[in-house]
Amino acid sequence: MTQTTPDPVRRQRAQVKVRTLRTDRWWLAPLLTFLGLSSFLVYGVWAILDTSYFVDPYIAPFSSPCLATSCPEGARFLGWAPFGDWYTLPPGLLILGLPGGFRLTCYYYRKSYYRSFWLSPAACAVQEPHGKYTGETRFPLIVQNVHRYFFYFAILIGGVLTYDAILALIHKPIGLGTWILVLNAVLILGYTFGCHSCRHITAGRLNHFSRHPVRYRAWTFVSKLNARHQQLAWASMFSVMGADLYVRLVAKGIIAFPFA
């Protein structure tokens, strides 16, 4: 067996009194991530409070599904309005927590905001500024383990956005906004089904792939999406923001060209 020597003389690390010796631009990636995620947050707050979220046949993704009586007739999801007249706040607030929670607890986004917002660490081999670190072992970060439940809701939200895109597709003539909503739905579904929890649920939890060939094939497909989870996270984030902004600009009449 390997012998180890707990000699006190040997117990000290190399004393290098700088935070990092890296010479590359290690700060660039966390800075860009910080700016990207911050812009998404700022846009999200504005979009939730904005009331121009529907113009037939488009509904802005941040406000879909629209579940309040205050939603215009055509904007209501399946004509359904379970929240009555008493609900007067923006309808987007009702569903905001589901996709928001999905992204907040997503394994990729965790990496990105732990690095760019919390600097824990900002980049590899760059010393973090915190004196103490307990990771996800205790409250509040232990709550990240709830991710799979948000994944279940994210499937529903992805389904609703797909439904919105199909509604726009069957509306004639087809405008640019329709293709924007279709692209957004595809990217959202790609991001959702590439989720690490989805990978675990399909077959990741099994030890005998060979006994479950259908689940194994599903796992193989999810693994391919999962390998691009980071790219899909960014692409779907910008697509949902872009699609949402586009619909609102059309609804406000700012974008008014033919086939908008």
Minimum Å distance from CB 237 to other proteins? 18
CB atoms within 10 A of CB 184: 25
Minimum Å distance from CB 220 to other proteins? 9
DSSP 233: H
Is the CB of 101 or the CB of 121 nearer to other proteins?
121
Greatest C-alpha distance within the chain? 79
Is the CB of 2 or the CB of 170 nearer to other proteins?
2
Is the CB of 24 or the CB of 85 nearer to other proteins?
24
Interface residues toward other proteins, by CB under 8 A? 1-2, 4-6, 9-16, 20-24, 107, 110-111, 114-115, 120-121, 124-128, 130, 132-137, 141-142, 145-148, 196-197, 199-200, 204-205, 207-210, 216, 226-227
Minimum Å distance from CB 28 to other proteins? 15
Quote the CA–CA distance of 15 and 7 in Å, as a whole number.
Answer: 18
CA proximity to 26, closest of 111, 167, 125, 103 = 125
> Integer distance in angstroms from the first to the last C-alpha of the chain?
72
Is the CB of 13 or the CB of 172 nearer to other proteins?
13
CA proximity to 172, closest of 255, 82, 110, 259 = 259
Minimum Å distance from CB 152 to other proteins? 10
Q: Which residues pair with 54 in a beta bridge?
A: 59
Residue 76 sits at φ, ψ, to 5 deg, of -65, 135
Q: Which residues pair with 66 in a beta bridge?
A: 76
DSSP 64: -
Minimum Å distance from CB 7 to other proteins? 8
Is the CB of 77 or the CB of 219 nearer to other proteins?
219
Both tokens of residue 224? 């391919």
Helix axis angle for 92-104 and 28-49, nearest 10°, is 160
Is the CB of 141 or the CB of 169 nearer to other proteins?
141
Minimum Å distance from CB 127 to other proteins? 5
